[in-house]
Structure 1
């Protein structure tokens, strides 16, 4: 029998994943011409205006422009929904570097480790959803539709 707390955490995780998935689906339905996003930088002023600081920098830092960010957000959503990740040499190298920096955590108590990863997953999903929403807003500005 599951405890109430475990059931609540699972529902919260599903809600966070669903929120990200909905944000990306909305982005896909809004962005009819992704090529308009080429060479357009992601507007970071919205985060700072809303007092959120630099929360989405990791997602945005890996993208050269909105077009690349658009495809990254879709790929991550597809991996999260299907549970499959395509092998890629570049990704494998970054995973190896990351695992070396996280080695001390691997020896931690499993409950602490789970909590650490769960908080990280919530943070990543929220940042990706916000990035998707900002990308959608910027696309609407590009094509001349006011929010």
Structure 2
């Protein structure tokens, strides 16, 4: 029998968080039959959306912005799912070692820091995919499905 704390830890595992995100995006993708209907429909939860300022935003890929519509969020969520399922394209500049950094310094600390960050981001993206799916249903008039 699983101990209650093990159940909580299992729920917070990166693998399960990734599966919940991919499942939410798959559900969104199957629900949204006409993505163009999402254009110019504002996001309800604009307050918690931050502009992405890392390398992913500068290479031309979609990112959440405060003035983004549901369509741009839809495209971004699908793009992130694709990268998670198929990996990062080679030559995008990510994953290269920085000169002068020792890879052995506090690797466990770095791992936990990034793991916690990834878990938090994936949880927010999962909620966003679920919100988008529900908003789409409301927009097309089948909110109870």
Q: TM-score of the superposition, structure 1-length normalised?
A: 0.68
In the TM superposition, what is the alpha-carbon distance from 1:64 to its structure 2 partner? 2.1
Please tell me whether residue 71 in structure 1 is matched to residue 72 in structure 2.
Answer: no
- The 1-side partners of 2:81 and 2:19 are apart by 10
- The 2-side partners of 1:108 and 1:62 are apart by 37
Partner residue, 2:112: 115
Where in structure 1 do 4 or more consecutive aligned residues deviate above 6 Å?
Answer: none
The total of aligned residue pairs comes to 123
The root-mean-square deviation of aligned C-alpha atoms, in Å, is: 3.3
> Would you say the 8 A contact 2:43–2:68 is kept in 1?
no
Partner residue, 1:134: 131
Q: TM-score of the superposition, structure 2-length normalised?
A: 0.69
In the TM superposition, what is the alpha-carbon distance from 1:87 to its structure 2 partner? 5.4
1:61 is paired with a residue whose SS is coil
Which of 1 and 2 has higher RCO (CA within 8 Å, sep 6+)?
A: 1
Please tell me whether residue 146 in structure 1 is matched to residue 112 in structure 2.
Answer: no
Structure 2, unmatched stretches of 5+, are 1-5, 52-62
Kindly provide the CA deviation profile for residues 15-48 of structure 1, in whole angstroms up to 9, marking residues without a partner as x: 1110000000000010000000001111118xxx
- The 1-side partners of 2:134 and 2:90 are apart by 30
Structure 1, unmatched stretches of 5+, are 46-52
Please tell me whether residue 81 in structure 1 is matched to residue 85 in structure 2.
Answer: yes
- The 2-side partners of 1:144 and 1:79 are apart by 32
